[in-house]
Amino acid sequence: MRSRPVRSVRVDAAAGDRVSRTAATWQVRRVAGWVVIGVTASALEFGLLSLLYHGFAWPLRVATAVAAEVLILTKFVVTDRWVFGHRWPAVSRLARYQGAAMGAFAVSWLVINGLAELVGLPAEPAFIVGTAAAFAWSLVTNFLWVWAQPARDNG
């Protein structure tokens, strides 16, 4: 039996290294795109919350819920296409995203309203703290559940 030349093994290792670096770069770009969309959406949500709460005098509890859901649906469509490259949204991904988003919304809603009502923090700073907490929740659930790639069987 002939063994493979050492040279071809080095080429294979180098190719594998390039694939690993490319995959890592792609993942960094996904996270960066996700962060840009998240920050932009947070600013839009803040504007909508301010309009509903200050402009229309809606109760903070209702205004936070409505503003959050409007942006949840918008973020899903944009993220699904621009960050993860899906041509069309899928109901299964939307269902997972809505579940993850409801978890993030619960974190955000509890922090915003808890800080505003229990601590007396104004709505705007409470929104910033609540958004940061929800952002952390979303990062983990979006990448590890909603858009997680299924494990490949190499055997």
* Domain ranges within the chain, ordered by starting residue: 10-146
Q: Is residue 63 predicted with pLDDT exceeding 60?
A: yes
Give residue-wise pLDDT tens across range 23-60. 667 678 888 988 899 889 989 999 999 999 999 999 99
Quote the CA–CA distance of 35 and 29 in Å, as a whole number: 10
User: Model pTM?
Assistant: 0.61
Give residue-wise pLDDT tens across range 72-120. 889 899 989 988 888 898 999 999 989 988 898 899 999 999 999 999 9
Q: What average pLDDT score do residues 59-75 get?
A: 90
Asked if residues 127 and 46 have their Cβ atoms less than 8 Å apart, the reply is yes
Quote the CA–CA distance of 74 and 7 in Å, as a whole number: 51
Quote the CA–CA distance of 128 and 19 in Å, as a whole number: 39
